Each structure stands twice: as structure tokens, then as C-alpha cells.
Amino acid sequence: MSRAPIHITHVIIDLGRGGAEMMLRKLIEAHTRPDSGVRHSVISLKGLGVHGQPLRDAGIEVHALGLKGALSVPGVLLRLTRLLRQLRPDLVQTWMYHADLLGGWAAHGLGLPVIWGIHSFDLRQGSSRSTRWVQTLCAWSSSIVPARILCVAEASKRIHAELGYDAARITVIPNGFDVDRPAVPAELVQSLRQQLGVADDEVLIGCVGRFNPAKDHRNFVEAAARVVRKHPCARFLMVGAGLVEGNPALDAWIRATGCDPSRFIRLGERNDVPHLLAAMDVFCSSSRTEAFPLVVGEAMAMARAAVVTDVGDTAVLVGDAAVVVPPRDPQALAEGLARLLQAGSQQRGWLGQRARDRVVAHFSMSRLLERTEQVWSEVLQGPSR
């Protein structure tokens, strides 16, 4: 008689666009085959977002509880507890602070083993007071509620231990990346560059990430202006929610540099990011804070030469396969970009292939699954300490 699959219920604050949400979906999709030995269900405290319906279409049970502010928390917590009692999972895995707190306590109260997920680096930078309060409650609960705490970066583990989290329960599992995606055909890359108005003799430097202080797009813009002074062939592609003409802050930063605004191709949010990465000659991450940045790993998987800021575990991710510079330093970022422009296309191609080889060896989705499944097994077998 075959053994029943392990049932894992995931609790997450929402299923919108974001790194943790995408990793949850990829983790579940990796187990959709009948012989995987794992059955997943998902509870979103808010709504279905962009991932809820695709997961339902794949046969995954997804619930949305409609959380809308602090006043709705008691009712949502009650519905969450009832739903967990109804689902009767073997294990509850929560994603991000609010879900760690609410989902963790609800599952703990039912006697279910709990795994928390930390996907941020340092909430002392750029987070609301309410979120920092939730984090404080999580730190206090961390020696009581979770059997294990999964963290995407060593740097994040250190920060959270300093904030009061039970370090003995934290296991670092880096994000995983899709290394099996087919290469984007050269003719499609050329067509896309033409659509963007990039000439054959121009070098396209790009960044991907929503308009947010953590991504430090001002750093990118100011570095770009410095690059142009010595490399007039450079153009700059900006992809992500809010990165559009008409964004007052972004427009002002570009004007302040004195650069021709047409040098900056601002596309906003797109669904063809892999194609856009393939169209870049150089990828740039200008962030002032990260944990383990998904987009950097995606650029590496696409064999892009890159310049990144030394935040969180970014330097651990890229190793010697990218140029690493200090954060919040436009001059250093510009010098790193200029270094790759001066290196020429052949050297950039070599560095990009080196980056891809590193992701394949150490940060593939298969490695993520292997590490995560090991933790599931250990937690289900008994206490972690």
C-alpha cells in the first residue's frame, strides 16, 4: 500500500507580486506530479493576488481570507483557525512576518508543527511601525511557536538573531532559480532591442525591481549619469512597477543629472522580464538593502554580466562572477559599470557564463527543493532541538 502524501498548508499574507510569493508558487509547482509525495494547500490572509488563480488552475486548494487592516484581524484569525482544523495538514509553513505571527499562533494552538519563513533583510530600514511591531512579537514568539525558522540569507539570520529571534532554530536556505529555461533566441533579443530603440552600437545597462527606497533607483540614475560622460554609447533600461515617465521623483532625479531623459528607457511593470534580461548587455542591482535578491539570481541564470551592491547575501550569491561595489555610492557603482563596458562584449559574455555556471551549481530550484524537503522531514520526525 502506498503511503499517503505529506500535506503541507502554507499561510502567506498575500499572493501578489513579490519574491516570497513567487518562491512559494515555484515550490508548490515543483510538487504537482502525482508521485511527489507532497500535497500542498495555501491560505492567503488577504486575497488571491496574481498567483492564487494559477495555483487553483494547477489543482492546488487555495483560500483567501480577506484581511483588511487591524480591525479585521480577530475575525481572520478565527477563520484561519477553523480552516486549519478543517484541512488538518501534517505541517504548516508560514511566509513573512504577519503570516508567521498569525498563522504560526493559529497552528501552534492546534498542536500542528510550524515552520516560519523570513524573506526580508533588515526591517529597521524603510518599514512601517506596525510591521516592526509584528516583527518584535515574532522575535518574542520564536522560541515557542516554530519548530524551525527558514531564512534566505546568512546576513538576514545575523540581523534577526540580533533582533531577538531564536538563532538556534534558524536554518538558512537560499532562494532557487530556474536554470532549465530555454535560452532566448538571438533573433528575439535583436527584435526586442529594436523595439526599445537601442542601436547596434549602443550598450544597454538594465535594472529590474519596483520603485522602492530599498532598490535605490536614485543610486542607479546618478551612476548612469557618470557612466555616460565617458561612455556615450550607454543606454539605461528600468523595469518594474513605478519605473515610468511621469514618476515625479524619478523624473526629478534624471533632470538633476543633466542627462537626456531619452537615455533612460522606463518600461514599468512587465511580464517578459526574462526576455528583457536577455536584451541587456549589463545587469545592475543598485539596492541599499536586500536579503537574497531573486532578480540577481535570475540575471545570472540568463548569463548576464552584472554589477551589484554588497548588501545582504548578494555577494555570497554572485561570488567572483560579478562586480561587487558598496551600496549608496553612485561613483563606485559607475566605476563598476564602466569596468564592464571597457571589458568588451567577449569578456562580458565570459563573466555572464561564469555567473550562470555558479547558479546551476549552487542555487538551482532542485537544490532549494532538496534543502527544504530535508527540513520538512526533520520537523515531522520530531523537535528540532
- Looking at residue 37, the DSSP 8-state letter turns out to be S
In percent, the amount of the chain with pLDDT more than 70 equals: 96
Same fold, 6-176+365-381 and 186-362: yes
Q: How confident is the model at residue 123 (pLDDT cuts 50, 70, 90)?
A: low
Q: Helices 129-141 and 97-109, interaxial angle, to 10°?
A: 40
**Once rounded to an integer, what is the mean pLDDT over residues 43-70?**
95
Is the distance from CB of 355 to CB of 347 less than 8 angstroms? no
Structural fold of domain 6-176+365-381: Rossmann fold (3.40.50)
Neighbours of 111 (CB within 10 A): 6
Is the distance from CB of 108 to CB of 144 less than 8 angstroms? yes
Q: 155: helix, coil or strand?
A: helix
What is the spatial distance between Cα 30 and Cα 340, in angstroms, rounded to a whole number?
Answer: 36
- 227 contact partners, CB below 8 Å, separation of at least 6: 205, 234, 334, 337, 338, 341
- pLDDT tens readout for residues 244-278: 999 999 999 999 999 999 999 999 999 899 999 99
**Once rounded to an integer, what is the mean pLDDT over residues 41-70?**
95
DSSP per-residue string spanning 338-349: HHHHHHHHHHHH
**Once rounded to an integer, what is the mean pLDDT over residues 158-173?**
95
What is the spatial distance between Cα 294 and Cα 73, in angstroms, rounded to a whole number?
Answer: 30
Query: What pLDDT score was predicted for residue 1?
Result: 32
- Domain 186-362 sits in CATH at 3.40.50.2000
Q: What are phi and psi of 309, to 5 degrees?
A: -90, 150
Query: What pLDDT score was predicted for residue 2?
Result: 46
Domain chopping of the chain, boundaries: 6-176+365-381, 186-362
Q: How confident is the model at residue 4 (pLDDT cuts 50, 70, 90)?
A: confident
List, edge to edge, every strand of the sheet that includes 148-151: 61-64, 38-44, 6-12, 91-95, 114-118, 148-151, 170-172
Is the distance from CB of 147 to CB of 111 less than 8 angstroms? no
- pLDDT tens readout for residues 196-248: 999 999 999 999 999 999 999 999 999 999 999 999 999 999 999 999 999 99
**Once rounded to an integer, what is the mean pLDDT over residues 84-100?**
97
What is the spatial distance between Cα 275 and Cα 306, in angstroms, rounded to a whole number?
Answer: 16
| CA 122, chain centre distance (Å) | 14
Chain length of the chain: 385
Q: Which three cell numbers stand for residue 181?
A: 529555461
What is the spatial distance between Cα 204 and Cα 328, in angstroms, rounded to a whole number?
Answer: 22
- pLDDT tens readout for residues 279-319: 999 999 999 988 889 999 999 999 999 999 999 899 999 99
In percent, the amount of the chain with pLDDT more than 90 equals: 85
What is the spatial distance between Cα 77 and Cα 45, in angstroms, rounded to a whole number?
Answer: 9
Residue type, 13: I
Residue type, 293: P
The 3-class secondary structure across 361-378, one letter per residue, is: HHCEHHHHHHHHHHHHHH
Is the distance from CB of 320 to CB of 336 less than 8 angstroms? no
- Give the residue among 141, 91, 83, 86 at the shortest CA–CA distance from 113: 91
- Give the residue among 317, 288, 316, 315 at the shortest CA–CA distance from 300: 317
Please say whether the dihedral angle defined by the alpha carbons of residues 190, 193, 197 and 201, taken in this order, is positive or negative. negative
Q: Which three cell numbers stand for residue 296?
A: 540577481
